[in-house]
Amino acid sequence: MEQGRIVDIRIGVSDTPKEITVELSDKTDLKKLKKDIDSALSQETTLFWFTDTKGRQVGIPTNKIAYVDIGAAGSGNPVGFS
């Protein structure tokens, strides 16, 4: 991953069309993050916690997680004018 890139985590939530987006530091260990998410979903954990790039903690009810999408921020097709 490129230095200075932020990692976007998008989490789909059951029973709502919205998704939660959390920006994580590029220093985040993605293999460990995936393992932690898998572990939280397979156990009786009620919340899965992230700490974003601004130091805010975000807790997501594990029984409401529909999907998790992990990717580099800005990796989509930006729209703009030059």
Where exactly are the structural domains of the chain? 7-72
Indicate whether 76 pLDDT > 70.
Answer: no
Query: Comparing 66 with 78, which gets the higher pLDDT?
Result: 66
Identify the band that residue 69 occupies on the pLDDT scale cut at 50, 70 and 90: very high
* % of the chain beyond a pLDDT of 70: 80
Q: State which CATH number among 1.10.10, 2.60.40, 3.40.50, 2.30.30 fits the domain covering 7-72.
A: 2.30.30
Mean pLDDT for the stretch of residues 48-76: 85
CA distances 1 to 20, 50, 60, 76, 78, Å, are: 23, 20, 26, 15, 19
pLDDT of residue 82: 46
Amino acid type, 41: L
